[in-house]
Structure 1
Amino acid sequence: MVVLARKQKFPFPDLPDWFEAFPTRFTMPAMADLYTMRIEEYADGGRYTVRSELPGIDIKDLDVTVDDGVLTITAERTERDVDKHRSEIRYGSLTRSLTLPKSADEKDVHAEYADGMLTISVDLGEEKPEPKHIEIKHIT
């Protein structure tokens, strides 16, 4: 059996792999990571649940609103007034909005905050009917 080998023309074959595996400590975080809150969402036991990581946020600086099918989480981390040698903590306002499922009952929403995790649950209620399409007659 003859095996054909192709000679690689690129003089540094490992260079692209090296750039892909560049140590993360030398890279800047993505701008989206600096200004958004991370969430997870799932349905469990007839409720739609959203969990959000908000470490170091005081409960008085949290706000959760539901309006016209949109859940909005707003949080603010205030900067401590101390002489800092270095600070890698992001301060300021964070906001995240999510569209609720069609069957969500906006009147049955619960929120809890413990150990830096905000958990919001919304009753899924009954499935709302799909929009009815109306036939349009062309009049000549």
Structure 2
Amino acid sequence: MANIMRWGGADITEPFRRFLEGDMTSWLRVEEYRDAGSMVVKAEVPGIDPVKDVDIELVGNDLRINVRHEEKSEHKGKEGYRSEFRYGTFSRTVSLPGPVSEGDIRATYDDGILEVRIPLPEETGGTSSRKIPVSRTGATAGAGGSAAGQA
């Protein structure tokens, strides 16, 4: 599988890459979308205390979300006593579309859903596209001259 990873490089999507590396247990599944000038990242993480169990960091243009989850249960009955526990840390790094201010990011937790809202940076220059000219070099430029300088 290491050969597959070297061959695919960055072309392999994050979930598939984590599957091949055997890292699915520590991966936090999120939903990302845009809403009213903000990027919204949602994760379903029931049964946590958001104050103690969630860490959100802004590192450059990446948002890092770490969630710790611990669950304990005890069963006492006529048949005996059984105790179970599960715990783990789940994380996800989400690339942001540009630089944002840490003070503008808002995170809320309601009914098991963690929601992080990141205001999108203002786009400068609008959404218009511009064609970039390509010039030829060398002897294959042809008799018609070089395309350099033409728009």
Same fold judged by TM-score > 0.5? yes
Q: Superposed, which structure 2 residues align to 1:1-140 within 5 Å?
A: 32-59=23-50, 60-80=52-72, 82=74, 85=82, 90-102=86-98, 104-127=100-123
How many percent of aligned residue pairs carry the same amino acid? 34
For residues 42-66 of structure 1, what are the alpha-carbon distances to aligned partners after superposition, in whole Å with 9 as ceiling and x for unaligned? 0110001000011111111111111
Q: Which amino acid aligns with 2:87?
A: Y
Aligned alpha-carbon RMSD (Å): 2.7
Q: Which amino acid aligns with 2:30?
A: I
Q: Which amino acid aligns with 1:43?
A: R
Which of structures 1 and 2 has the larger relative contact order (alpha carbons within 8 angstroms, sep 6+)? 1
Q: Is the 8 A contact 2:70 2:86 kept in 1?
A: no
Q: Give the C-alpha shift of residue 107 in structure 1.
A: 3.6
Q: Which amino acid aligns with 1:49?
A: V
For structure 1, the 5+ residue unaligned runs are 1-29, 130-140
TM-score by length of 2: 0.55
For structure 2, the 5+ residue unaligned runs are 1-18, 76-80, 126-151
Q: Is the 8 A contact 1:55 1:116 kept in 2?
A: yes
Q: Is the 8 A contact 2:41 2:116 kept in 1?
A: yes
Call closer, same or farther: CA 1:79–1:90 in 2, change over 3 Å: closer
Q: Which one has a larger percent strand, Structure 1 or Structure 2?
A: 2
Q: Which amino acid aligns with 1:57?
A: I
TM-score by length of 1: 0.59
Runs (4+) of structure 1 exceeding 3 A deviation are 30-33, 81-87, 103-107
Q: Give the C-alpha shift of residue 35 in structure 1.
A: 2.3
Q: Which one has a larger percent helix, Structure 1 or Structure 2?
A: 2
For residues 10-67 of structure 1, what are the alpha-carbon distances to aligned partners after superposition, in whole Å with 9 as ceiling and x for unaligned? xxxxxxxxxxxxxxxxxxxx75543212110001100010000111111111111112
